Structure 1
Amino acid sequence: MSSVPENVSPRVSDVDRDSAVERLQEAFAEGLIPQEEMHARLQTALTATTQAELASALESLPDEDTGPTVVVNAAGGLIHRRGRWQVPRSFKVTSRMGKVYLDLSRAVIEYPVVNIELHLGYGWARIIVPPDATVNYDELAAEWKQPSYKAPQHGNSGGPRVRILGTMGHGRLRIKHGRG
């Protein structure tokens, strides 16, 4: 006869904790969690040892909407989107020698966080974001030239968060805000 209880919640991994922390950060950025509650939820997620403890940190959050992912693979050429186009939750571009021009300033953006993943060998990328967007490109590894981005002097608020990640070989990423 075993002495292990039958209803023990499985243990969590570091990957589970990291995923929960990222979900909490996104929920906080979307305004779903007040600041005074965020610290306690993060503490719970970071110290959780069981799935039940981890679930308690995420309770009352709506189901995660991963949304569509658009994947574009090209050897070269120009990948171009502008005007009123529907921005997916995740946009992934892989190109050995191509150029990427994404203008989100007049696009339809339904998600509070948009992920743009670039994997460019020798091309350049230019991304124009809405005037009220916040931009994060900390997860982009640039081999040759660092991204060019000048944050607006006025504080951004209320707009989408645009996360740019991936790898840039021998090209350059330029990010700017569109006009309001």
Structure 2
Amino acid sequence: MSNGASRHGSMRAADSDRIQAAQLLTDAAAQGRLGMSEYEERLKKAYAAQTFDELDRLSSDLPGIAPTAPPIGPGQPAPSTLLLAIMSGFERRGRWNVPKRLTSVALFGGGVIDLRYADFTTAEVEIHSYSVFGGQTILLPPELNVDVHGVGVMGAFDHLGDEGSPGAPQVTIRGFSLWGSVGIKRKKRKTQ
């Protein structure tokens, strides 16, 4: 956390503070300072943290971390994004800023949206996925909270029956598939 945060130790942390701590931990994992299992454990604790003290303890042994991407401050979510595959494909993998609203369309094509290594810029994300004679896969890390409202007509739209971690970002997935599919799967991050 920032130096200003440590001065307010017992004060309650906001969603934007938890997201900032998660990005700091992601930077540490990307730099090889945290293994994947320790990273995932600290990430769960960051999303569940209630105070600045709890957030500071998660990164206190990680001095000198230089963020690999400029942080996006509170109230500045990434812009809405459209991923489009018409007789082609799209992939969104690795480190990227997840916008508050993401729309994906696969028409005679396919796509992958991988949220496992992504940086969340807001605590609530809405994904609208549409597949017509195409397919999409949405990969989620174990800690995300997900709510799915999708319909498959002569096709498939996956629904998850489990929950993520308290305090983790909430992802709502809506849409439909017509003679296509929208696959939604939880998948652990790969170990280094």
CA distance in 2, matches of 1:129, 1:95: 19
* Aligned residue in 1 for 2:158: 148
Match among 93, 105, 124 for residue 82 of structure 1? 93
Q: Are residues 147 and 156 of structure 1, via their aligned partners in 2, closer, same or farther at CA, if it must alter by over 3 Å? A: farther
- Counterparts of 1:99 and 1:85 in 2: how far apart (Å)? 19
After superposition, the C-alpha distances for 1:117-176 in whole angstroms (9 at most, x for unaligned) are 1222111111111211111122x2321234234444x75322111111122111122112
> Partners of 2:145 and 2:89 in 1: how far apart?
25
2-structure distance, mates of 1:131, 1:105? 9
Q: Which residue of 2 aligns with 1:26?
A: none
Q: Is the 8 A contact 2:94 2:117 kept in 1?
A: yes
Alignment partner, residue 181 of structure 2:
172
Once the two structures are superposed, what CA deviation does each residue of 1:85-115 show, in whole Å capped at 9, x if it has no partner?
1111111122321112111011111211111
2:46 alignment partner in structure 1: none
CA distance in 2 between counterparts of 1:106 and 1:84 reads 5
Is 1:122 aligned with 2:133? Answer: yes
CA distance in 2, matches of 1:95, 1:173: 10
Superposition RMSD in Å: 2.5
Listed as ranges, the gaps of 5+ residues in structure 1 are 1-29, 31-63
Partner Cα separation in structure 2 for residue 169 and residue 68 of structure 1: 28
Aligned length: 117
**Secondary structure, aligned partner of 1:136:** strand
Rg bigger for which structure? 1
CA contact (8 A) 2:77 2:121 kept: no
Q: Could you tell me how far apart the structure 1 residues matched to 2:161 and 2:78 are?
A: 27
Alignment check: 8 A CA contact 1:132 1:158 kept: no
TM-score, normalization by structure 1: 0.56
- Equivalent pairs: percent with the same residue? 25
1:93 to 91, 104, 114: 104
Following TM superposition, by how much is the alpha carbon of 1:81 offset from its aligned partner in structure 2, in angstroms? 1.0
Give yes or no for contact 1:105–1:128 (8 Å, CA) kept in 2.
Answer: yes
SS at match of 1:116: strand
Q: Could you tell me how far apart the structure 1 residues matched to 2:117 and 2:164 are?
A: 20
Gaps (5+ residues) in structure 2?
1-14, 16-74
Aligned to 2:42: none
Quick one: which amino acid aligns to residue 119 of structure 2?
V
Q: Point out which structure has higher relative CO (alpha carbons under 8 A, 6+ apart).
A: 2
